[in-house]
Amino acid sequence: MMESQQEPKVTIPPLIPLEYSNRVMLKTILECGDDEIGLFGKTVVVGGWVKSSKEVKREPVVAALKPTTAAEAFPPSPGPKELSCVEVVQSRIPFFKKIIRVFGVSSDSYPGVREKFEPVPKPPPPPPSKFFLQINDGSSISSLMVVIDSAIVPVSASRVLPTGTCILAQGVLEKSSSHGKQTIELKVEKILHIGTVEPDTYPLSRKRLPLDSLRDYPHIRPRTTTVASITRIRDTLDFAAHTFFHNHGFLHVQVPIITTIDSEGFSEKFQVTTSKKWGLGSGADADVRHETVKAEQHIEARDKSKLGTGVKPEVKEDFFGHQSYLSVSGRLHLESYACALGNVYSFGPRFRAEKTGSIKQVAEMWVVEVEMAFSQLKDSMKCAEDCFKFLCKWVLDHCPQDMKFVTKRIDKTIVHRLEYMISISYERISYREAVDILRKVTDKTFETKLRWGVPLTAEHLSYLADDHYKRPVIIYDYPKAVKPFYVRLNDDGKTVATFDMVVPKMGTVITGSQSEERLDMLSARMKEFDLSRDQYEWYQDLRKHGTVKHSGFSLGFDLMVLLMTGLTDVRDVVPFPRTHGKANN
């Protein structure tokens, strides 16, 4: 007879401690907390911070009363008993005590007598308690129930119960004694560390704070469930961005944060200096100074900041010998590597000194920038759309628990919207077509008067993506006056090869362009912006020596996190936001 087929055995994943610590991540336990995989009975070390807690005090044990027999209830009278001398004296103690009181003698003068007469009972020890702690180590949206029996592990409630207390404990995983959602808990055998909390000053001891209040505590807010979930989504999105470009043959290039050029020609930027002129006590210290350069004032501003023979003495003595700035874009530097290596990308912080109150803009934002040799505007638009869809899908696939949480807590439609944007094609219209559509709108009045040649405002873009098309929209071929100097001029002489990707409920997330590869055209554009030829000589060299058509785009990474979480203010997804007048920590 053939042997009956047996079900394949399930391999039990071991609870392996972290390589650089002896603790087990709670995610390892909580995401497979079932008896079928053999977790119960395992001894592990876990650590985390107390999210909530309670104490259950045990009642003192009282001896049970048993029924008495008749003999016990009515014992026989004892016969006469001979007393010893000591017993005789002790029997007369009440009489001696009265005599002492009559004569006014305090029994305190006779401690021996007081001890005999009024023995002081010792207070009974407090009954043991059980402490139930929900702890979280940041690896998962869920928390682990940790049970401490003070009869086994002596510890006071004041040390372990406050929210925010750090616990490192060793214990045995057991089936949960409660009937809640959790199926597993840790019965503590030994406490290895307690990081106590001052409840009166700990910000999270109070009732749950709103996100805008948490901005005052950027060093503490990662301990909240919401910010922890946002951070895990941000980390996943970070990895997804690198994965996409590595999968498509791009090389990662680090571009400088400090530059000597204005990458756009009319940016608002921070100037970096070591000059004592700007109020510094030591030349070794650096100062970042706000320099505002409006688009309509760029010629006048450039006259003041030109380098070359007219450099002021204090600038020559500066650390770099030139006026230097925090970079607003790294795409110009990326071009030099794209013209040698093909497809490259960079990922880093970019700085804009705009005194804006926009909830979509902070002074320091992280940006993914891409540059592709042998490509044109249409190639850049396709790559941007593919990258955007890849990032959305990656987060949905790899952060299911966190996405479930933000859907419940922040935006009930976020998962549905992301799935929709992954599955559809995006509308592509020219700037001229966008203006024509907006001019025909009769049921809405825009605050900014619309005319050809001016930038589209946030309300214009919102109408196109949210109301008219109800999907992401890619708007291309903008007027040359509103885009940077390096963008390729179209044949009409009025527009340039640029695009913006506008997403419903978010706005512009990606901006891209085809760069001007023709030296004569680039020189003419630089002259229009009154840019120093000496300062951009290295950039012109790329057109002199082996020029090539190339394009790219910039993706606002912080805005992508904002989109994925359903939040509306970028300060809530940036770990340490820097805004005008405020830079905590």
Specify if 274 maps to a domain.
Answer: yes
Whether 567 is covered by a domain: the verdict is yes
Buried b (16+ CB within 10 A) or exposed e, 41-58: eeebbbbbbbbebeeeee
Helix axis angle for 557-565 and 225-247, nearest 10°, is: 130
| Residue of 229, 232, 196 whose CA lies nearest to 211 | 229
| Band of residue 22 on the pLDDT scale cut at 50, 70, 90 | confident
558/148 Cα distance (integer angstroms) = 41
Domain termination residue (choose one: 205, 239, 271):
205
CATH number of the CATH domain containing 49 = 2.40.50.140
Which residue did the predictor score with more confidence, 550 or 122? 550
**Identity of residue 234:** R
Same domain, 99 and 178: no
- Which residues fall within 8 angstroms of residue 44, CB to CB, at 6 or more apart? 15, 17, 23, 24, 29, 170, 171, 173, 186
pLDDT tens digits for range 498-520 = 999 999 999 999 999 999 999 99
Q: Which of 29-43, 59-73, 462-476 has the lowest mean pLDDT?
A: 59-73
Could you give the CA distance from residue 576 to residue 560 in angstroms, rounded to a whole number?
A: 17
3-state secondary structure of 169: strand
* Phi, psi of 147, deg, nearest 5: -110, 125
Please report the pLDDT score of residue 178 as a whole number: 72
Give percent of the chain above pLDDT 70: 78
Tell me the per-residue pLDDT of 386-402, one tens digit each, with 9 for 90 and over: 999 999 999 999 999 99
Is 498 in a helix, a strand, or coil? strand
* Domain count of the fold of the chain: 3
Tell if the pTM clears 0.85, that is, is over it. no
* Domain assignment of residue 282, yes or no: yes
Q: Same domain, yes or no, for 149 and 253?
A: no
User: Rounded to an integer, what distance in angstroms lies between the CA atom of residue 385 and that of residue 368?
Assistant: 14
Over the stretch 203-224, which tens digit does the pLDDT of each residue have?
998 677 888 888 889 999 999 9
Residues 180, 296 within the same domain: no
Helix (H) or strand (E) holding 391: helix 377-398
Range of the domain at 118: 91-122
Comparing 32 with 112, which gets the higher pLDDT? 32
Could you tell me if 38 and 173 lie in one domain?
yes
- Asked whether residue 15 is assigned to any structural domain, the reply reads no
CATH assignment at residue 449:
3.30.930.10
110 with 138, same domain: the answer is no
Both 157 and 265 in a single domain? no
Please check whether residues 402 and 500 belong to one and the same domain: yes
- Would you state the pLDDT for residue 582? 84
In a domain, residue 63? The reply is no
Cβ pair 260, 327 in contact under 8 A: no
In this predicted structure, the answer to whether residue 581 has a pLDDT above a threshold of 50 is yes
Q: Do 156 and 109 belong to one domain?
A: no
Tell me if 521 is assigned to some domain.
yes
In a domain, 248, yes or no: yes
Average pLDDT for 64-86: 52
Q: Is the pLDDT of residue 310 over 80?
A: no
The residue whose two tokens read 């980390």 is: 235
Q: Specify if 98 maps to a domain.
A: yes
Q: What is the DSSP string of 222-278?
A: GGSHHHHHHHHHHHHHHHHHHHHHHHTT-EE----SEESS-SSSS--EEEEE--GGG
Task: Retrieve residue 9's tokens.
Answer: 């055995």
Which pLDDT does position 125 carry in this prediction? 66
The total of other beta-carbon atoms located within 10 Å of residue 465's CB is: 24
Same domain, 152 and 108: no
Using pLDDT thresholds of 50, 70 and 90, give the confidence band for residue 103: low
Beta strand 184-195 with 144-149 is: parallel
* Confidence (pLDDT) at 298: 45
150 in the same domain as 117: no
> pLDDT tens digit string along 433-471?
999 999 999 888 898 888 888 899 999 999 999 999 999
Beta bridge partners of residue 476, listed in sequence order:
430, 499
Q: In terms of domains, do 140 and 157 share one? A: yes
Give the domain-ending residue among 102, 122, 142.
122
pLDDT tens for 137-151 read 999 999 999 999 999
- State whether 251 and 193 are in the same domain: no
Among 70, 105, 122, the domain boundary falls at 122
Q: 2 falls in which pLDDT band (50, 70, 90)?
A: very low
Report the C-alpha gap between 107 and 558 in whole angstroms.
80
